[in-house]
Amino acid sequence: MDEVVELAIRGKGAAVTATCGEGLIVECHHLFDLREILGVLKMRIGPYTLKNNIVVAPMAGVTDRPFRQLCKKYGAGMAVSEMVTSNSLLYGSSKTIRRANHDGEVEPISVQIAGADPQMMAEAAQYNADKGAQIIDINMGCPAKKICNVMAGSALLQHEDLVKRILEAVVKASPIPVTLKIRTGWDKQNKNAITIAKIAENSGIQALAIHGRTRACHYTGDAEYETIAAVKDQIKIPVIANGDITSPEKALHVLKKTSADGVMIGRAAQGRPWIFREIDHFIKTGEHLPPPSIDEVEKTTIEHVTDLYDFYGEDSGLKIARKHISWYTKGLKNSAMFRAKMNLINDNQEQLNFIKEFFESQKQISNFISYEDILEPA
């Protein structure tokens, strides 16, 4: 069976054929279909076999420990942390210490690091491994100006030699597996994802996540799934497709379109962590799960907000909770008025009570979540 799996990963073109040890020939149109037939949809990174191939994208200010734990509870196979600086001068800051706190987190624990200096990045990998990280992810995909202005994130894609030096330094220094997240290139005239992917594989990177846009595109336009497919065709390490995946149908479409080993969900999970179980169920059965009940969404929101209080402290937790509460309620009837009032509350118990009151009003409309508008892309 291992031989067949390897052949599936190496297959190219529209049709894929594999022969197992007993002489059975399996032929299908996509690598995804072959993996599905053989029951090998789970993805492996170093010693870790993920429970499925659905990953939470790293998002600054979002994928803190409470959010990662919540997404894993709802079925994500792995969740990548918000990026941690490679500047050792900031290791003692409360923010860095908090981000290195993985108490009670479900394995595997993946921590993303960002920076442009090979030695500092290597030291950051060692530091986070010592603090409990089990996988190090390198950020070469963030399009934010404040990151690119210091030649980190997706700005690094302009400098292939520096990319190589950073990857080699981190892999050499890290006692745990190293993964990489990139975009398709710097701009539409400079797409070098295939070159970067080959550098990554040759440097010892163990999985590659690709957001299907260039840095210049930010989050506008359609994701380039054909570019992700081209990268998958050229390398053997697992490839994770990211960009515009907002539904179970879209996740399955992207897996088949790109032959990627997994999908990565970002903004579509904000206020909707159950999207992971919905995608997992749809991929495995071709059927939709019913929408979550109002009771479940209320319970999830309350538990998430309470976890934020515990993690950040009551004052900071209350303020950070506002955006999550907004995401949980966006698109629900009368939610705009609710959010406006919510943002004026400065007492923790009052915030919790107001959440409960809102969801009680929703139960008068329906027992299940029903959105009035369309969710934004991931």
Residues with catalytic annotation? 142
* Burial (0-12, 13-18, 19+ Cβ within 10 Å), 364: exposed
β-strands 54-56, 48-49: how paired?
A: unpaired
Q: Which helix (H) or strand (E) holds 264?
A: strand 262-265
Angle at 231 between CA 7 and CA 263, to 5 degrees: 80
C-beta atoms surrounding 42 within 10 Å: 14
- Tracing tokens 């190219």 back to the chain, one arrives at 12
Question: Coil, strand or helix: which one is 112?
Answer: strand
d(CA 121, CA 88): 9
Tokens found for residue 301: 């929101």
Go through 57-84 and write b for each residue having 16 or more CB atoms within 10 A of its CB, e for each that does not: bbbeebbbbbbbbbbbebbbbbbbbbbb
d(CA 58, CA 32): 24
Q: With left for phi above 0 and alpha for psi between -120 and 50, is residue 92 left, alpha or beta?
A: alpha
Nearest Cα residue to 212 out of 195, 233, 191, 196: 191
- How distant, in Å, are the alpha carbons of 58, 89, 275 from that of 64? 9, 21, 18
Q: Find the Cα–Cα–Cα–Cα dihedral 304, 310, 316, 320, rounded to 10°.
A: -10
- Tracing tokens 């479409």 back to the chain, one arrives at 253
- How distant, in Å, are the alpha carbons of 82, 291, 301, 355, 358 from that of 294? 29, 9, 10, 12, 10
